[in-house]
Structure formats: structure tokens, C-alpha cells
């Protein structure tokens, strides 16, 4: 029987000292604050925090990060970036996707992410035909999660059309496309995995890429406990096109025609009005914010302050992986609100005035809900936790309640030292045991692609 002993540990209700706990079958058990360390306890001298949830990832896009920062168009936008992304998509093999996913998942673990929602829409061969095993591409990213040790919510994406009103897909989208029956078979083929670190969900690329019939059919046919993710209202053009098609804004259409609930994760939701914000809050749907990607693509700034004031839920994701830093996502999320409102300290509540403490815990909890898991350090939850090296000068002088503010707002140094997923140590002293081989495979992959 193994016990751990943490000098400092961040519980769901705040920092605790001298905490003994067990990990039984990959889950936290017997959490005992204010205890005495016993002879055979594993001593965790560095502060212990829950691992962060990355609620939105396109693993393959890591291969093009930094390659779209040259202006070839005076009106450069998300849509011109998308054309460049399609060029990468045309080349990728399952083996390359596996190499890229391995690389980005190690980077996530080193950053302190212990769970990722993989929004996976790259399904088919370069000519648009299915592989002999239609799940080949999805299994590439799942196997990368198993190999690296990160928790994963696999979200196979239904993508059928290029625009609102079931417009035919274009040539760059051929590798993404499914008819409804094939999509449901893919979901069934992937659903037999038995691993505490892995689960699955329903995913619609966007309202412009699916029909109402497809959405309702999937919700009826697939398990009711699975989370449901969708890109929505990311760009103004998407909102304008939705209005032209339906006379409703995207989130309003989804709420009125389908019905929002706490199963839904609305990725980006950048451009919402007050009534849509109220619908999101009322339903307890989770807003999936990806601040560094949204800034990179020029999406806009989501009204997070108003969502928090209404009791809404949100989490963070790294999306296209131009940045893999928990601190940077939290920092930019808060700073975007400050810049827009010209005020400081925007995202907090009356129970937790520290922005860093509040946002970190909220993104763990709400991000976990978006993956249909209970996250955070509490008995029964999966034992995902990280240990911070607080010897760095900006952290060494801080009190426990200041560590997260110092990390998120005052450090250019990554203090994540050790990472555990389901009780298994996957990062030790900042390193992954397969790191060298994974880096070499990624380098070779990029040379082939670029």
C-alpha cells in the first residue's frame, strides 16, 4: 500500500499542507491534510497541483505553427490561413500524424496539461477515399496518447459540407468528409477502448459543416454521457453567413433548434450577443477558449468577464499549438479582457480574488467537464497532478496562495517539474522518457513535409 506525502497540495477548495494520499486504481484516495509523513511515504517536496485540461487540440496543426506568419495578402485573415492549412493536410500520412501527435502531447505534458480533447477531423487518404480501416487516422492520435501517457478525449469530427445550407465541400476538405452512417460506424469502431486515461465524444466541425438532421441523429444514436464539441461563432463572416441562411446567429440557432445543455463545449464562441451569452450561461454549456490561437488568427475577444458574472463555465485549449503554455493561455485570457475594458483584474469571483488561483482552478474543473471527467485533486477523481519547482526567483519568495499568480503573470520560466496521469509519472525533472526518440521522429517528419 503506497502513500504519497505532499508538503503543499492544491485541493479543490484551496491550498493544504502536509497532505497524505493514495492512488488506487489510478484515482485519488484517502486525502488527509495536516498529517504526519510515515516511513515509506513517497515524499513530494515540490508543490502539488491538479493537471490542467486542454479542451481543444488539432494535433496535426503543430507541424505548421510559425509558418503562416508571412503576409502574402493585404487582407490576410483566418480564411487565408485556412488555405495554407489545407496545403499541409494534403500531404499528411498516418505515420506522420502519429509522430506529430507524439511530439505535441509530450509538449503538453511538459507544460502541465494532463488531459487533451483531440478535435480530430483528418480522416481519409489524400484523394478523399477512406483507408482500409476507416479509423486509421483516429487511431494514430489515440495511439500517440497511449504512447506518451496523456489523458485523451477523442472527438472524431463529423464534417460534410463547406457552408450553411449543405453547400458542397471543396477540394481542400475531401480528407475530412463523412456521410452520417459512416460517421456513426467510425464512432462505434472507436468506442471499445478500455483505458482509464481515454474516453470519447461527439463532435461537429461547425454549423456550416453539418445539417440539423445530422446533429439530431448523432445526439439520438450516440451515448448520452458523451460530451459534445463544436466550433462556433469564431469569425464575423461565420456569424453573417449564419444570419443570411437562418436569420439567427450561430449560438442562438443552436440553442433554439437543437437545445444547449451542459454536455456542450462551444469552441471559441467569440462573437456572441447578450442573449446568446445568457443562453450559454443558463444551459451551463462550456465555452472553449484558445487565447493564443484566437490571437494568432485574429478571431477577436470573447466576453469572458460577462460570462463569469453570469455564472458561466469556460476552459482553455491550445488549438493550433502556436503556443504550449498553461500560463500563457491564462495570461492572455485575462489580458484580453483588460485591454478591451481598460481595467485590471477582470476574471475572479468574490470567493477567490486571485486571478491566477481562480482561473487555474476554473479551467481545471470546467475543462474536465468538457471532457466528461471529474478533474481536480479530490477523492475518486483520476490522479492527474503536477509538481512545480518553486526554486526559481519569481516563485521562491512567494507564499502558496501567490504561486499561481507568479507563475501565470510573472514568469518566463516553465516551473513544471513532474507530471502524473492516473498516478503514473510521465514527466520527471521536466523530461519525458521517450523525448529524444519523439523529437527525432518529429524532425524527420518536418523535413519530409516542408
Paired residues of 50 in beta bridges:
385
Indicate whether 295 and 408 sit together in one domain: no
- CB-CB contact of 354 with 404 (8 Å): yes
Indicate whether 106 and 227 sit together in one domain: yes
Beta strand pairing status for 48-50 and 385-388?
A: antiparallel
* Domain stop point among 319, 340, 370: 370
Closest CA to 430 of 22, 2, 46: 46
Domain count, the chain: 2
What is the C-alpha separation between 232 and 193, in angstroms, rounded?
A: 29
Catalytic residue among 319, 366, 384, 405: 319
**Res 338 pLDDT > 90:** yes
Mean pLDDT over 253-279 rounds to 98
Could you tell me if residue 283 is inside a domain?
A: yes
* Rg value, the chain, Cα: 21
Domain range enclosing 408: 3-49+384-435
Mean pLDDT over 33-38 rounds to 97
Indicate whether 273 and 415 sit together in one domain: no
Mean pLDDT over 342-362 rounds to 97
Clarify whether 268 is annotated catalytic: yes
Indicate whether 14 and 143 sit together in one domain: no
**Res 1 pLDDT > 80:** no
Could you tell me if residue 445 is inside a domain?
A: no
Q: At 166, is the secondary structure helix, strand, or coil?
A: coil
- CB-CB contact of 434 with 101 (8 Å): no
Average model confidence (pLDDT) across the chain: 96
pLDDT given for residue 81 in this prediction: 83
- CB-CB contact of 380 with 27 (8 Å): yes
Indicate whether 242 and 339 sit together in one domain: yes
- CB-CB contact of 45 with 7 (8 Å): yes
pLDDT given for residue 74 in this prediction: 82
Supply the angle between the helices 355-370 and 326-341 in degrees, to the nearest 10: 110
Indicate whether 365 and 388 sit together in one domain: no
What is the C-alpha separation between 187 and 448, in angstroms, rounded?
A: 31
Please, which pLDDT band fits residue 408 given cuts at 50, 70 and 90? very high
Catalytic residue among 205, 268, 321, 432: 268
pLDDT digits (tens, 9 = 90+) for 95-131: 999 999 999 999 999 999 999 999 999 999 999 999 9
Could you tell me if residue 442 is inside a domain?
A: no
* Domain stop point among 370, 400, 425: 370
**Res 77 pLDDT > 90:** no
Helix, strand, coil percent values for the chain (each to nearest 5)? 40, 25, 35
Indicate whether 96 and 41 sit together in one domain: no
pLDDT given for residue 84 in this prediction: 81
Please, which pLDDT band fits residue 43 given cuts at 50, 70 and 90? very high
Please, which pLDDT band fits residue 397 given cuts at 50, 70 and 90? very high
Indicate whether 259 and 360 sit together in one domain: yes
Could you tell me if residue 141 is inside a domain?
A: yes
What is the C-alpha separation between 50 and 328, in angstroms, rounded?
A: 17
Please, which pLDDT band fits residue 88 given cuts at 50, 70 and 90? confident
Could you tell me if residue 322 is inside a domain?
A: yes
pLDDT digits (tens, 9 = 90+) for 167-200: 999 988 999 999 999 999 999 999 999 999 999 9
Can you tell me which residue has the cell 477523492? 379
* The Cα angle at residue 231 between residues 253 and 327, in degrees rounded to 5: 130
Mean pLDDT over 231-253 rounds to 98
φ, ψ at 172 (rounded to 5°): -70, -10
Question: In this structure, what CATH number is given to the domain that contains residue 429?
Answer: 2.30.40.10
Question: In this structure, what CATH number is given to the domain that contains residue 121?
Answer: 3.20.20.140
- CB-CB contact of 173 with 162 (8 Å): yes
Indicate whether 38 and 112 sit together in one domain: no
Indicate whether 117 and 136 sit together in one domain: yes
Contacts of 448 (CB under 8 A, 6+ apart): 96
Amino acid at each position: 500500500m503506497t502513500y504519497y506525502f505532499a508538503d503543499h497540495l492544491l485541493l479543490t477548495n484551496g491550498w493544504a499542507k502536509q497532505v497524505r494520499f493514495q492512488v488506487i486504481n489510478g484515482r485519488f484516495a484517502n486525502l488527509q491534510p495536516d498529517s504526519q509523513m510515515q516511513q515509506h511515504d513517497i515524499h513530494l517536496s515540490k508543490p502539488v497541483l491538479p493537471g490542467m485540461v486542454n479542451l481543444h487540440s488539432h494535433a496535426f496543426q503543430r507541424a505548421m505553427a510559425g509558418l503562416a506568419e508571412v503576409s502574402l495578402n493585404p487582407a490576410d485573415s483566418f480564411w487565408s490561413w485556412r488555405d495554407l492549412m489545407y496545403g499541409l493536410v494534403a500531404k499528411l500520412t498516418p505515420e506522420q500524424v502519429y509522430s506529430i501527435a507524439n511530439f505535441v502531447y509530450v509538449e503538453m505534458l511538459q507544460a502541465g496539461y494532463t488531459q487533451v480533447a483531440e478535435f480530430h477531423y483528418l480522416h481519409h487518404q489524400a484523394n478523399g477515399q477512406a483507408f482500409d480501416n476507416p479509423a486509421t487516422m483516429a487511431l494514430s492520435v489515440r495511439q500517440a496518447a497511449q504512447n506518451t501517457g496523456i489523458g485523451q478525449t477523442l472527438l472524431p469530427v463529423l464534417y460534410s459540407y463547406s457552408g450553411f445550407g449543405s453547400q458542397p465541400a471543396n477540394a481542400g476538405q475531401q480528407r475530412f468528409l463523412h456521410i452520417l452512417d459512416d460517421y456513426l460506424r467510425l464512432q462505434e469502431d472507436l468506442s471499445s477502448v478500455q483505458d482509464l486515461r481515454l474516453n470519447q465524444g461527439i463532435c461537429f466541425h461547425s454549423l456550416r459543416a453539418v445539417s440539423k438532421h445530422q446533429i439530431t441523429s448523432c445526439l439520438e444514436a450516440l451515448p448520452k454521457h458523451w460530451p459534445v464539441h463544436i466550433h462556433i461563432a469564431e469569425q464575423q463572416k461565420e456569424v453573417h453567413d449564419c444570419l443570411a441562411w437562418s436569420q439567427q446567429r450561430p449560438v442562438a440557432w443552436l440553442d433554439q433548434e437543437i437545445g444547449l445543455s451542459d454536455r456542450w463545449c462551444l469552441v471559441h464562441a467569440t462573437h456572441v450577443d447578450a442573449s446568446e451569452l445568457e443562453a450559454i450561461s443558463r444551459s451551463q454549456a462550456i465555452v472553449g477558449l484558445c487565447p493564443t490561437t484566437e490571437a494568432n488568427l485574429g478571431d477577436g475577444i470573447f466576453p469572458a468577464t460577462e460570462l463569469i458574472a453570469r455564472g458561466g463555465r469556460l476552459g482553455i485549449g491550445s488549438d493550433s499549438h502556436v503556443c504550449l503554455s498553461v500560463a500563457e493561455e491564462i495570461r492572455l485570457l485575462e489580458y484580453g479582457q483588460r485591454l478591451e475594458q481598460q481595467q485590471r483584474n477582470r476574471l475572479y469571483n468574490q470567493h477567490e480574488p486571485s486571478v491566477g488561483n481562480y482561473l487555474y482552478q476554473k479551467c481545471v474543473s470546467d475543462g474536465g467537464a468538457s471532457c466528461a471527467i471529474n478533474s481536480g485533486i479530490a477523492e475518486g477523481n483520476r490522479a492527474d497532478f503536477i509538481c512545480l519547482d518553486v526554486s526559481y526567483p519569481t516563485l521562491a519568495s512567494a507564499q502558496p496562495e501567490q504561486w499561481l499568480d507568479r507563475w501565470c503573470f510573472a514568469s518566463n520560466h516553465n516551473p513544471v517539474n513532474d507530471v502524473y496521469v492516473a498516478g503514473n509519472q510521465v514527466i520527471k525533472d521536466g523530461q519525458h522518457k521517450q523525448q529524444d526518440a519523439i523529437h527525432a521522429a518529429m524532425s524527420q517528419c518536418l523535413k519530409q513535409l516542408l
